[in-house]
Amino acid sequence: MKDRSRWLPIAQARAPFWAGVDLGGTNIKVGLVDDDGRTVAFHTEKTLVDRGPEDVCRRMGESVRTVAELAGVALSDIPRAGLGTPGPQDLKAGFIIRAGNFPGFDGFNVRDRVSHHAGLPVTFANDATAAGFGEHWIGAAAHLESLVLLTLGTGVGGSIVIGEATIDGANSHASECGHILVDPAPTARMCPCGKRGHLEAYASAKSLVAMARERIDAGTAAGLTQAVAGGAELTPELVWAQAKTGDAASLELIDTVARWLGIGITTLLHTLDPAIVLLGGAMTFGGEPDPVGHAFLERIRAEVRERAFPLLVERTPIRFATLGGDAGYVGAAGMARAEHLRLHPSDA
């Protein structure tokens, strides 16, 4: 757990406790949080996806017991655990479908197997959705009635939370805000999903790198060309570093990403009118304190200002998320709590 500011000594914690599991392609993160969402124990280990789904689920379940032991909390004080995984999923059935990074997981009931190994009922969630729920519970959207979160990473994830409900869809495919159609032109960029013109084709780390590569090839990115020739890897971090030195091409690339995000966010404002829009994930260029991150956010806001209803422009903050890499497990734990309270209203 990177940020220890949300870490709480167990003596100050408020029971009951909730476990959250965040399954990634590289790492499993497991946290135990108290009833106010404050972390009292954390454990992480490599996913080792090649060991197969049963092994991964066993270790996720055991990690829930591990964090309980680390915190000195009895399993009987943890009513439920939450599990967030990458999609696409069948949330009702409890499994991941057709996820290239998780061979053998298609149709394997991860929810029930983690539940078995943890010895707790499990709430199954999309990882991006869980991250949004985390921000809603204790992060940048705490005390607000709703939010949209765009997670800018390798791809572009989305989360829509309204009240205590997440928007999951009839087929577990809602909140895929990375696939808002932003460019209807036949020449629009190809999205990794195989269709043209989706937001992810313009606003993901992968797209930024692809657009940077195109500029290098076209000879219109002297700074980046020089850096890459000097051995640097072409990454969003390199573009960010170059932008900080004032490199025009890098600044333009980041400006382009921001512009497309503003176009997608306009549609989100008009269809969902959330209380706040958050941007999270690795590709936020250092966040608001960083001059590049600040300019990025301002450019997004300017684009929305030009395209959206003035009332919503005025009333809807657009900000960076605050939970970072903790959002996933905190949100999964929060969703477990919300489901428990729905099932047992007398516990509220």
**For binding to its own copies (CB under 8 A), which residues are involved?**
88, 144-146, 158, 160, 162, 165, 167-177, 179-185, 193, 195-198, 263-264, 266-275, 306-309, 311-312, 315-316
Output 34 or 176, the one with its CB closest to its own copies: 176
Output 115 or 159, the one with its CB closest to its own copies: 159
Q: Is 344 left (phi over 0), alpha (psi -120 to 50) or beta?
A: beta
Decide: 166 and 133 in contact? Cβ < 8 Å: yes
Give me the long-range contacts of 92-99 (CB less than 8 A, separation at least 24): 92/172, 94/124
Output 14 or 270, the one with its CB closest to its own copies: 270
* Integer CA distances (angstroms), 17 to 10, 36, 229, 341, in order: 11, 9, 52, 13
**Rounded to the nearest whole angstrom, what is the least distance from the CB of residue 193 to its own copies in the complex?**
7
**Rounded to the nearest whole angstrom, what is the least distance from the CB of residue 203 to its own copies in the complex?**
13
**Rounded to the nearest whole angstrom, what is the least distance from the CB of residue 112 to its own copies in the complex?**
23
Output 6 or 189, the one with its CB closest to its own copies: 189
**Rounded to the nearest whole angstrom, what is the least distance from the CB of residue 96 to its own copies in the complex?**
14
Decide: 1 and 42 in contact? Cβ < 8 Å: yes
**Rounded to the nearest whole angstrom, what is the least distance from the CB of residue 5 to its own copies in the complex?**
28
Residue type, 123: T
* Residues with Cβ within 8 Å of residue 181, at least 6 apart in sequence: 197, 198, 199
Residue type, 193: C
Output 215 or 259, the one with its CB closest to its own copies: 259
Q: How far apart are CA 332 and CA 20, in angstroms?
A: 5
**Rounded to the nearest whole angstrom, what is the least distance from the CB of residue 167 to its own copies in the complex?**
7
**Rounded to the nearest whole angstrom, what is the least distance from the CB of residue 87 to its own copies in the complex?**
11
Output 173 or 215, the one with its CB closest to its own copies: 173
**Rounded to the nearest whole angstrom, what is the least distance from the CB of residue 275 to its own copies in the complex?**
4
Q: How far apart are CA 197 and CA 100, in angstroms?
A: 22
Output 142 or 193, the one with its CB closest to its own copies: 193
Q: How far apart are CA 292 and CA 111, in angstroms?
A: 40
Output 7 or 309, the one with its CB closest to its own copies: 309
Indicate the helix (H) or strand (E) that contains 79.
none
Output 219 or 345, the one with its CB closest to its own copies: 345
**Rounded to the nearest whole angstrom, what is the least distance from the CB of residue 146 to its own copies in the complex?**
6
* Residues with Cβ within 8 Å of residue 301, at least 6 apart in sequence: 262, 318
Apex 334 CA angle, 328 and 336, nearest 5: 105
Phi, psi of 332 (to 5 degrees): -60, -40
| Cβ neighbours of 241 (radius 10 Å) | 17
